[in-house]
Amino acid sequence: MFYTPSRQAIEKHREMYSYMVDTSHPLIALDQLINWSTLLKNVFPYYSTTATGRPTADPIVLIKILFIQKLEGFRSVRFTCKQIQSNVTYRWFLGISLFTRVPHHSTISKFLWNRLQGADFWLAVFNQQIKQIYKEGFIANETWAGDETELKANANKRFRHKILTEKVIPTKPEDLQEINAFRVKHGKKPLKVVAPKVIHPPTNYSPIDKDARLSVKHVERGQFAYFEHRIVDTLHGFIIATELTAANVPGHQVLPTQVDQLHLLFGEYAKEITLDAGYYNATCAKQLLKRGFFISMPYKRSRSKEHPKCKRTHFKKVKDGLYACPMGIPFSYRTTTRGGYHEFKAPKGSCTNCPYSLKEEDRVLRISIHQKTYDRLREMRLSQRGKILKVVRPQTIELSFAHSKENHGLRYARYRSLLKVKTQVLMTAIIQNFKKWAKLRSLKQVGLHLTYKIIEDDVE
């Protein structure tokens, strides 16, 4: 059971602040934008319906305090409560009088972790927010931009332990079917289906935050971190999807699931998506192409330095199963490995004294079974539309990450464990969208319509 004041009581408290409030503060626009009654309905299932016992603190006030923290980028709830005590605009936003005590920071922490118990509440608020923004036309849903960023975990990088984790390498039936079809075509025996391989690689983990993993993205020796995988709409840069994983989970494994969730949210896929080079993966690209996306993705340089002067791109295809090297030596088909590579070899001793050879050993040309997918990505990247989408990224997804880190305190994980940091990420995404949404609504009131539907009508 809880008690929440009426709108009339809140306005009565706000009368005494009428000449002291900063009217240009973003909280003024946020108070008019947010539907607090809907938010109250979302939080109602987390409370008991019985009338016995002492009423708890008003949950709307507690949520407003959390919104203030994320909007201003304060480092903790304790510091936020100290700022609210002496700031008139914050008190006006909460709707409390000058003589009302600000809730204790421990009350807000218990509300956040004991009452709400995770990110489900914030995820529901986030989805409702995106649907409402989409209805108002501020989300075009035509071009998406996806990327991932690193959040430094609240854990000392020098205290690390190694454990053996179980990792299952699954077999891909569609890849095996393609491999066997190519082998049978060239007179080779088809490979048998094998069980998924189970390995136990050593993994660094922190005893302070056991969900974080070591990342060498920005620090040479590595630091414990999380990865936030984000998708924004390129019309106004609204965050439409966000997911948090440990730092050892690449973005191309998360992106297909995020795209399917957006399809459930909007009822359709976007037409285009622009991604970072970290998503350069054939399995991910195939799933996106199957869903009808035009993909703009930078080229990812090969890690192999075996033959820098005799690269795969220097070979010319003579016919099916036969390639020629820069010196004109024929490389004929030998086999297709279970790893998904076609191997082509020259006659023994052909690479001896070759000016392009790095070693005295014979060169083995390996071509991926997904080469057609990579060629398709190259065509999209070099097309006129692909070059345009490449320029879109710094103004949308990169700018969104910059605002999160500089203005809203998302550079560091303020909590420990994956569930709590995911809550921090969702609250930051919600407040960023509210801030942008309020600005677009204020521009609409003065006659500047920046909605997708009106722009489309003007073009026609």
Per-residue pLDDT tens digits for 45-95 = 888 887 777 888 889 999 999 999 999 999 899 999 999 998 889 998 998
Q: Give the CATH class of 141-165+201-300+376-430.
A: alpha beta
22-27: average pLDDT? 87
pLDDT of amino acid 96 = 85
Query: pLDDT of 376-418, one tens digit each?
Result: 999 999 999 999 999 999 999 999 999 999 999 999 999 999 9
Neighbours of 43 (CB within 10 A): 20
DSSP state of 222: -
- DSSP bridge partners of 323: 317, 331
Q: Domain map of the chain by residue range?
A: 7-117, 141-165+201-300+376-430, 312-368
The two beta strands, 197-199 and 202-205, are unpaired
What is d(CA 442, CA 33) in angstroms, rounded to the nearest whole number?
Answer: 10
Q: What 3-state class would DSSP assign to 281?
A: coil
Answer yes or no: are the C-beta atoms of 389 and 85 closer than 8 Å: no
Q: What 3-state class would DSSP assign to 323?
A: strand
Please state the pTM of the whole predicted model.
0.88
331 φ, ψ (degrees, to nearest 5): -115, 115
